[in-house]
Chains A and B, each alone.
Chain A
Amino acid sequence: TQLLEQSPQFLSIQEGENLTVYCNSSSVFSSLQWYRQEPGEGPVLLVTVVTGGEVKKLKRLTFQFGDARKDSSLHITAAQTGDTGLYLCAGAKAGGGADGLTFGKGTHLIIQP
Chain B
Amino acid sequence: NAGVMQNPRHLVRRRGQEARLRCSPMKGHSHVYWYRQLPEEGLKFMVYLQKENIIDESGMPKERFSAEFPKEGPSILRIQQVVRGDSAAYFCASSQKGAGLMNTEAFFGQGTRLTVV
| Interface residue ranges, A against B (CB under 8 Å) | 30-31, 33, 35, 40-45, 48, 50, 88, 90, 92-93, 96-106
Given A98-B55, A104-B42, is A50 in contact with B103 using a C-beta cutoff of 8 Å?
yes
- Inter-chain contact A98/B100, CB cutoff 8 Å: yes
> Pick the contact of B108 from A30, A44, A48 — CB < 8 Å?
A44
> Pick the contact of A105 from B33, B42, B100 — CB < 8 Å?
B42
The CA of A30 and the CA of B55, in the complex, are separated in Å by 19
Q: Give 14 A-B pairs besides A42-B91, A101-B106 with Cβ atoms closer than 8 angstroms.
A: A30-B100, A33-B106, A42-B4, A42-B6, A42-B111, A43-B91, A43-B108, A92-B101, A92-B104, A98-B56, A99-B45, A99-B48, A100-B33, A100-B46
How many A-B pairs with Cβ below 8 Å?
85
| Interface residue ranges, B against A (CB under 8 Å) | 4, 6, 33, 35, 40-48, 55-56, 58-59, 91, 93, 98-111
- Inter-chain contact A93/B108, CB cutoff 8 Å: no
> Pick the contact of A92 from B40, B93, B99 — CB < 8 Å?
B99
Q: Chain A residues near B42 (CB, 8 Å)?
A: 88, 103-106
